[in-house]
Amino acid sequence: MHKRSLGVVGVGNMGLAMALRLCELGHTVRVRDLDPAREALAVAQGAQRAATPALLAARSEVVIVAVVDAAQVESVLFGEDGAAAAMRAGSCVVLCPTIGPASTESFAARLAALSLDTIDAPMSGGPARARAGTMSLMVACADEVYERQRDLLHALADPVFRLGSRVGDGARAKLVNNLLAAINLAGAAEALALAERVGLDAARMLDVIEHSSGQSWIGSDRMRRAVAGDLAPRAHTTLLAKDSALALAMAANTGAAPLLGTVAAATFKAAVDAGHGADDDASLLAFLRDRDSR
């Protein structure tokens, strides 16, 4: 893969990991984040800081957007000093946030009016896998755009799931996945809280679950941390609260009302309302312990 000039807007846990991976591969990487401390982490390991999304975009062949929600994407691309107006025709925006498919489609249409390509590419797997290039990307875009950016996408992720040419299908796939993640995590936390209430050792119970029919990746990953008391935020509780709500809204547009998804979304909303929004989502165990002790 030839060395390129790339931009990453939003260097939170996932964006920083992607930026550092691209630096390590020898690309020129410019970063922009509202938090100067996050920018400093990237600059310390080889990235360059851009003062605005527009300045970053003017010198980037591809702009990777790794912010949290649709409002932030709107600001980054089309707000004051936004990236879109500064990009050269034929450049590409890679949309990595978990947002609704209608938002993705709208952003892509507005970018196309400026002769800019869009890759709908939500990500999954966590920052450690993003840093290693082993996270997953759920990619939807025009075939010719995919071919132009194939090397970049495969440098960032393994696997890259090619979902087709309909922009918005990446967003749809990510919401389906994250609704199941919310269901699995809520179920794992509830089961482990029950194990503790009936007098079982939580760590030993996890050993049983991980080698039995109740195992799930997200349950093991988060509950191992919860039992160890390691709640340093990797994925804030607000994220699955947001994502499960978006998934239910997408479902409602088709006339569906997923029962387990509705319960999981309500559980995450309640955890956020109880003050766990900024905590790692492994804190769901602590929330359920507190709830069940009342």
- Residues 241, 267: Cα–Cα separation, whole Å: 8
**Catalytic: 174?**
yes
Query: Looking at this protein, which amino acid is placed at residue 240?
Result: L
Which of 52, 90, 75, 65 is closest to 11 using CA atoms? 65
Helix axis angle, 259-271 relative to 284-293, nearest 10°? 90
- The catalytic position among 3, 174, 242, 269 is 174
CB contact at 8 A, 231 and 271: no
- Residues 3, 26: Cα–Cα separation, whole Å: 6
Q: What angle do CA 146, 150, 154 make, to 5 degrees?
A: 130
Q: Kindly provide the b/e burial profile for residues 56-94, where b requires at least 16 CB atoms within 10 angstroms of the residue's own CB.
A: bbbbbbbbbbbbbbbebbbbbbbbebbbbebbeeebbbb
CB contact at 8 A, 98 and 122: yes
Residue 141 — φ and ψ, nearest 5°?
-175, 170
Residues with a known catalytic role? 174
